[in-house]
Amino acid sequence: MPAADIVELIFEDQKDVEAILGDPEAFDIHEYILKYGLSTKKILYVDYKGEQYREITNYIMDYEFAHNIELASKDQLEELEGFDYEFLPEKIKETNRILSQKGYGLFSYPNSGDFYALFIAKLEHKTRLLEVDLLLDDRIPSKEGYIQYYD
Averaged pLDDT, groups of 10, the chain, 151 residues long: 80 89 78 90 91 91 95 95 90 96 95 89 94 66 78 90
Chain CA centroid to CA 113, Å:
15
pLDDT for position 101: 96
Distance, in Å, from the CA atom of 62 to the CA atom of 56, rounded to the nearest integer, reads: 10
pLDDT for position 125: 94
Q: Select from 8, 9, 4 the least CA-distant residue to 107.
A: 9
**Antiparallel, parallel or unpaired: β 115-122 and 104-109:** antiparallel
pLDDT for position 24: 75
Q: What is the pTM of this model?
A: 0.90
pLDDT for position 138: 59
Distance, in Å, from the CA atom of 98 to the CA atom of 2, rounded to the nearest integer, reads: 31
pLDDT for position 68: 95
pLDDT for position 64: 96
Q: Give me the half-sphere count of Cα atoms (radius 13 Å) on the Cβ side of residue 45.
A: 14
For residue 108, what are the CA distances in angstroms to 18, 24, 121, 143? 22, 26, 10, 12
